[in-house]
């Protein structure tokens, strides 16, 4: 994450008016650190049509190596309603109540710079909001009876959409799925293609597609065998599945199975992958080789989903 962390980029001023949008009052401030609360997030509040939170680090943001300062940030809340590519340009300023003089210290960017919030960047603020030595100084009036109050004003300057996007996720845990299907009465089959019943593998439904007389230019010469998505229409146009597949025709006599192995991308438009020249038809029908016994063959699919691409929400 990027934050404003250069002291030269920060302007501090005094105003009488309280913050227009939100105030966080903290009692027993010293107990935050004693109870190991390194970061406190406020409840959400609405400004400019969006929901926001304040994130307070009472002893500095250790992840940013901040020491001897309070860190304070503005956090865009409930990003689930934001589409990828949607950007919000925001000008904001933070307040700290001076209880002695009944006014407010205001901390903001020196040049009133707009900050861009979006799906992957939801937090902006100040690493060095205020030195702790100043905050704790009784004459300053910020901390009185261990009580203080922070505030914020948030102004949305503009919004825009930058377009679509996608997210590729490669699987850390690899799971192998196997499915065996029996194609029987082969001599009576008169269609070009036969499908297995759908089966589940990696949260998707698949089916084995057998072309006993071949597919396309290989018809009459080779048996063709494919793996297909059972319901490709369930995928969004931008979704893809990267899978390693092994297709087998089992040898029912000597267990010398015929197989092919490859990696493919599956999608709504490319929902079927495999081999048009999987096995010569003469070998498949040769009774001595054991691929067809009693007019029946066994086809097996082994599926490993390696990665998934989805549209960014």
Instruction: State the DSSP string of 184-195.
Output: --GGG--SS-EE
pTM, full prediction: 0.58
Cβ within 8 Å of residue 144, ≥6 positions away: 99, 100, 138
> Residue 238 has which token pair?
């931008």
CA–CA distance, 229 with 117 (Å, rounded to integer)? 38
Cβ within 8 Å of residue 236, ≥6 positions away: 268, 310, 311
Lowest mean pLDDT among 140-154, 176-190, 254-268: 176-190
Q: Is the dihedral of CA 128, 133, 137, 139 positive or negative?
A: negative
Specify the pairing of strand 69-76 against strand 123-131. Answer: antiparallel
pLDDT at 7: 53
Instruction: Note the pLDDT tens digit of each residue in 97-128.
Output: 999 999 999 999 887 788 999 888 999 999 99
Strand partners, 195: 209
Q: Which domains does the chain have, with CATH numbers?
A: 7-161 (2.60.210.10), 167-311 (2.60.210.10)
Instruction: Note the pLDDT tens digit of each residue in 250-270.
Output: 999 999 999 999 999 999 999
Instruction: Note the pLDDT tens digit of each residue in 7-31.
Output: 557 899 999 999 999 999 999 999 9
């Amino acid at each position: 994450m990027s934050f404003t962390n250069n002291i030269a980029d920060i302007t501090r001023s005094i105003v009488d008016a309280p913050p227009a949008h939100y105030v966080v009052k903290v009692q027993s401030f010293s107990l935050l650190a004693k109870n190991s609360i390194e970061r406190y997030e406020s409840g959400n509040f609405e400004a400019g049509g969006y929901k926001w939170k304040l994130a307070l680090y009472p002893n500095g943001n250790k992840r940013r190596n901040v020491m001897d300062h309070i860190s304070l940030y503005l956090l865009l809340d409930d990003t689930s309603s934001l589409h990828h590519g949607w950007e919000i340009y925001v000008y904001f300023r933070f307040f700290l109540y001076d209880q002695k003089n009944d006014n407010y210290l205001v901390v903001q960017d020196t040049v009133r710079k707009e900050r861009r919030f979006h799906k992957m960047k939801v937090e902006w603020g100040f690493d060095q909001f205020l030195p702790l030595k100043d905050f704790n100084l009784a004459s300053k009036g910020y901390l009185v009876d261990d009580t203080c109050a922070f505030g914020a004003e948030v102004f949305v300057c503009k919004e825009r959409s930058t377009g679509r996007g996608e997210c590729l996720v490669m699987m850390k845990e690899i799971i192998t799925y196997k499915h065996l299907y029996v194609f029987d009465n082969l001599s009576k089959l008169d269609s070009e293609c036969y499908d297995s019943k759908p089966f589940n593998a990696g949260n998707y439904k698949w089916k084995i597609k057998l072309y006993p007389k071949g597919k396309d230019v290989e018809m009459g010469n080779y048996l063709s065998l494919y793996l297909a998505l059972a319901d490709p229409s369930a995928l969004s146009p931008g979704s893809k599945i990267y899978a390693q597949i092994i297709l087998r025709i089992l040898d029912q006599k000597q267990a010398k199975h015929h197989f092919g192995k490859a990696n493919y991308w599956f999608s709504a438009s490319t929902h079927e992958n495999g081999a048009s020249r999987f096995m010569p038809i003469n070998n498949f029908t040769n009774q001595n080789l054991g691929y067809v016994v009693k007019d029946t063959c066994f086809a097996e699919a082994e599926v490993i989903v390696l990665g998934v691409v989805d549209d960014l929400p």
